[in-house]
């Protein structure tokens, strides 16, 4: 069951632009994680958010967890070609004792 | 480098053949997972092992079996491969279930003809 909906599915922008990727659900999560995956490789963890309303920054990337812990966003400032990749959100449903549930991902292409 | 090692990286099988995908981690993680990734479908959980000695079904377990051989190793077996099992398979591990981040292997690209 796909609990997490990511939007947009595809995003093609030019270097220097800003963008936001969304991860939404009707379920409550104990935590949400963001991963980046490059072609031919496995996903790599970027960040974990656990508290409603939490904001974390990783250089030009800003991650926010919704107040109700049902959604999250990833904002990239001044995108660079090195940001190109598939961005995946993954959630740990509250009280589930289960493995992470992944969204389908947002494929980002940043052109020079 | 510490991490998750998957073998093989590529495999082509004929329908009906069997094979085992191997996965090993050297981070002393308790939990291990097998996912498959298909275009437009995202990552879907096949099986997971919360700790050594336990295994549980995920979202798409049919046609697969797993073995948690020890704390380090978690294998995935296809007993009779079908074209629908053509996919990229990822093994991952984490310290525990829940909010702990996953470390993924680099994947096995499997084609069933």
CA–CA distance, A63 with B110 (Å, rounded to integer): 34
Residue-wise pLDDT for A43-53, tens only, equals 999 999 999 99
pLDDT score at B1: 64
Residue B40: which pLDDT band, with cuts at 50, 70 and 90? confident
pLDDT score at B79: 93
Share of chain A above pLDDT 70, in %: 98
* Residue B60 forms contact with A (CB below 8 Å): no
Residue A72 C-alpha, separation from nearest chain B C-alpha, in angstroms:
15
Smallest Cβ distance to A102: which of B4, B42, B48? B42
Residue-wise pLDDT for A38-89, tens only, equals 999 999 999 999 999 999 999 999 999 999 999 999 999 999 999 999 999 9
Q: Do A99 and B48 touch (CB under 8 A)?
A: yes
Contacts of B63 (CB under 8 A, 6+ apart): B78, B79, B80, B82, B84, B85
CA–CA distance, A4 with A72 (Å, rounded to integer): 10
pLDDT score at B45: 94
Smallest Cβ distance to B40: which of A92, A100, A104? A104
CA–CA distance, B4 with A72 (Å, rounded to integer): 28
pLDDT score at B97: 84
Residue B98 has pLDDT above 90, yes or no: no
């Amino acid at each position: 069951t796909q609990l997490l909906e990511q939007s947009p599915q595809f995003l093609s922008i030019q270097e220097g632009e800003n963008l936001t990727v969304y991860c939404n659900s009707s379920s409550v999560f104990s935590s949400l994680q963001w991963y980046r995956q490059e072609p031919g490789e496995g996903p790599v963890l970027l960040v974990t958010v656990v508290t409603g309303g939490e904001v974390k920054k990783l250089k030009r990337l800003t991650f926010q967890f919704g107040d109700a812990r049902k959604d999250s966003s990833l904002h990239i400032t001044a995108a660079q070609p090195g940001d190109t990749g598939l961005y995946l959100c993954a959630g740990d449903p509250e009280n589930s004792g289960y493995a992470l549930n992944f969204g389908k991902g947002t494929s980002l292409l940043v052109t020079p | 480098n510490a991490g998750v090692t998957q073998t093989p990286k590529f495999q082509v099988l004929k329908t009906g053949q069997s094979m085992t995908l191997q996965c090993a981690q050297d981070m002393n993680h308790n939990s291990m997972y097998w996912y498959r990734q298909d275009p437009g479908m995202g990552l879907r959980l096949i099986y997971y092992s919360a700790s050594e000695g336990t295994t549980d079904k995920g979202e798409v377990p049919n046609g697969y079996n797993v073995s948690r051989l020890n704390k380090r190793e978690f294998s995935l077996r296809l007993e009779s491969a079908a074209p629908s099992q053509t996919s990229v398979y990822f093994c991952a591990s984490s310290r525990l279930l829940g909010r702990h981040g996953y470390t993924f292997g680099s994947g096995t690209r499997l084609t069933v003809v």
